Structure 1
Amino acid sequence: MPATLPWNRHNWPIAAAMIQYPNILPDGRCVQDVPAEEWAATLADVADAGFTELDPTDSWLRIADLGRSRLDEFMGVVRDAGLTIPAISTARRSVIDAQHGEEYLDYSHRLIDVAAEIGAGAVSFGLFQALTPEQKRALWFWTVDGYRDPDDRATWALAVRRLRELGRHAADAGIELSLEMYEDTYLGTADSAVRFVTDIDLPNVGLNADLGNLVRMHRPVEHWRTMMEKVAPFARYWHVKNYFRTEDATTGMVVTAPAPLEFGVISYRAAIREALGHGFRSAFLVEHYGGDGLSVSATNREYLRRILPR
């Protein structure tokens, strides 16, 4: 591992995810439209959980779709909460969506511009699409099959072309792009993800090695360690979460459930060492589904602080 690291365990950027906060509130209002005081109340939760960084996560708030005055308001709320934004993630806005792909491509360009403006160093994009009605009804959406990228050369080529376009824009803006690994997309296995990012072939475009998205599946999956060995050379901005996973070899039954980072099937101590050995120098995002996701994310942050280099 190279001797020089940009940060140490005390100051490595570890952002809170906002996946536990909905975009549509119980009273029907959209978070895009609420007064800044309501944004401030939400971000006070994040700060009270001990975070100094957050990822707005566009499943909660689409900052690229805020007007100038509203964006200024939001960034004022972020500063007042003592927070910074090292990176921004997108969710379910695939640039090859059959209905909205071009719209999402335009949105992605706007998001890169906003990320550069506010000082975020990375944007995470994915190819996963909207949850199906059946997935929305399930306790854990990943236990129900959802969208699959087609086994089609032309669609693969379109995805590569559009994400390469975004990568070039990001390079001009000084931004890294991190492509989120996610089941049944072209980034849904380690081998496919490596082939995909290699086809894009830009130095600022890498992989969001979110292996949690894969080990949670109720089906056979490649061992997390061999996946990590394959994707570590390409690792960029990284979503980290973990799952309990039990496999019954006699029946083939697989059961998974969300776990705090240090208790699940993935050893992040080993995974992070693997990535650091290949030059990983990006921020982390900690997330957790179920229960008080923010508080579990805070414990995940403290676990990372213990195992990152001194």
Structure 2
Amino acid sequence: MYTADSWPIACNMLSFGSTAPDGTPIEDAPASVWAGQLRQVRELGFDHIDPTDAWVPLGKLSDARVKEFHSVLADEGLAVSSISMTRSSVVDLEKGEENLRIAHRLMDLAPDFGASVVNTGFMQALTPAQQKALWFWLADGHVDDPELRPLAIQRVRELGDHAQQNGLQLSLEMYEDTYVGTPEEAVRFVTDVDHAAVGLNPDLGNLIRLHRPMPPYTEMFEKVLPYSNFWHIKNYTRDEDPQTGSYSSAPMPLKYGVINYRAVIRRALELGYSGPFCCEHYGSDSIGVCAENRDYIRQVLQSALR
């Protein structure tokens, strides 16, 4: 069990994007570009990162480039607590088998990086409408095919076996209109997988931001926290006008959004949560907000673990 001071709280690197400043794919960029971006995070006081494949896709790098990445991390004084796959569904009709292969490679790479969990999910590439929207979640995206659910369970169980062999956990990120798109669906899916190394990423920020009816967040967390082993954590404002049927939402630091994370984190600990945190934020100075969120989480942990 971690202490409040030792609990891994990572910065998700997705805000840097998948291309270098000169337009080069970040996976092909010189290691100095990786170092410069990592240094910005380290200067904000982070000890850990999540090198999501929305930034540097570790699972696609050659062994030589993986070694380079190790060296850059060491030089910048950073560690990896988790590795996330973003929009890389293992049942994608075109890329599912490739994504599965990459997920297996991440299972082999993760222990060398010191990561304890690999995070994946069933969200897929943004649609043209989502790419044009101010916030991508304001437009409808991919919807999972119920007929592929058995294959999804089979492949997640396969990854769970690999994770367990390597002393890891596999976490499934909650995301709308996927097999883990509501608390009920998420619990049903992870229960059907029925694997000790597979749990949920209770990223309910992905749902709270949607402009659609939503149950109270306290009810949703109560259902999924007992199954959670990793946490993409972020917050949003949310407003609903029942007279007009209108909604509004916007990204906010953890302390100021609609979710009371002081209460939710304390409840998670009561239910046995012991996984890493990974701070996310969209818009504005994303990594700066993530640093504020890290300090907030640390203080909540210090209070809760006394």
1:113 paired with 2:102, answer: no
CA distance in 1, matches of 2:17, 2:280: 14
Q: Distance in 2 between matches of 1:127 and 1:37?
A: 32
Structure 2 partner of 1:130: 125
Amino acid in the other structure paired with 2:238 = R
Q: Quick check: 1:28 aligned with 2:23?
A: yes
Answer whether contact 2:8 2:277 (CA < 8 A) is retained. Answer: yes
Residue identity in the other structure for 1:71: V
Deviation at 1:80, TM superposition (A): 1.3
Give the aligned residue type for 1:239: H
User: How far 1:71 sits from its partner (Å)?
Assistant: 1.0
Provide the secondary structure at the position in 2 that maps to 1:206: strand
Cα offsets for 1:147-176 (capped at 9, x unmatched):
1112x2x31111111111101111001100
Alpha-carbon distance between aligned partners in 2 of 1:26 and 1:11, rounded to the nearest angstrom: 34
In the TM superposition, residue 117 of structure 1 has moved relative to its aligned partner by: 2.4
5+ unaligned residues in a row in structure 1: which ranges? 1-5
Residue in 2 aligned with 1:104?
Answer: 99
- Pairs within 5 Å for 1:105-254: 105-150=100-145, 152=146, 154-254=147-247
Question: What corresponds to 2:280 in structure 1?
Answer: 287
Aligned equivalent of 1:46:
41
Answer whether contact 2:130 2:139 (CA < 8 A) is retained: yes
Counterpart of 1:111 in 2: which secondary structure? Answer: helix
Note if 1:264 corresponds to 2:240: no
Say how many residue pairs are matched: 303
Q: Which residue of 2 aligns with 1:62?
A: 57
1:161 corresponds to which letter in structure 2?
Answer: Q
Instruction: Determine the C-alpha separation between the residues in 2 that align with 1:27 and 1:295.
Output: 23
| Counterpart-to-counterpart distance in 1, 2:152 and 2:226 | 21
What secondary structure sits across from 1:244 in the alignment? strand
Query: Matches of 2:114 and 2:225 in 1, distance apart?
Result: 26
Higher relative contact order (CA closer than 8 Å, sequence separation 6+): 1
TM-score (norm 1): 0.96
**Contact between 2:31 and 2:72, CA under 8 Å: does it hold in 1?**
yes
Please name the residue that 2:82 is paired with: 87
User: Post-superposition shift, 1:296?
Assistant: 0.4
Q: AA paired with 1:72?
A: K
Which residue matches 2:6? Answer: 11
Q: CA RMSD in A?
A: 1.0
Q: Given residue 116 of structure 1, which amino acid in structure 2 is its aligned partner?
A: P
Letter in 2 for 1:75: H
Q: Equivalents in 1 of 2:95, 2:2: separation in Å? A: 39
CA drift at 1:68: 1.8
The separation in 2 between residues aligned to 1:11 and 1:203, in whole angstroms, is 25
- Give the drift of 1:27: 2.7
Aligned pair partner of 1:78 in 73, 78, 86: 73
Q: Which one-letter code corresponds to 2:290 in the other structure? A: S
Amino acid of the structure 2 residue aligned with 1:199:
D
Deviation at residue 25 of structure 1 after TM alignment:
2.9
Deviation, structure 1 residue 285: 0.2
Secondary structure in 1 matching 2:160: helix
Moved over 4 A (4+): none
In structure 2, C-alpha distance between the alignment counterparts of 1:302 and 1:27, rounded to whole Å: 33
70-79 or 121-130, which deviates more: 70-79
Could you tell me which residue of structure 1 aligns to residue 289 of structure 2? 296
Whether the 8 Å contact between 2:234 and 2:253 is mirrored in structure 1 is yes
TM value normalised by structure 2:
0.97
User: Deviation of residue 26 (structure 1)?
Assistant: 4.5
Q: Quick one: distance in 2 between partners of 1:222 and 1:96? A: 28
Output the CA distance in 1 between the equivalents of 2:209 and 2:3: 30
The secondary structure found in structure 1 opposite 2:67 is helix
Partner AA of 1:245 in structure 2: R
AA at the equivalent of 2:219: T
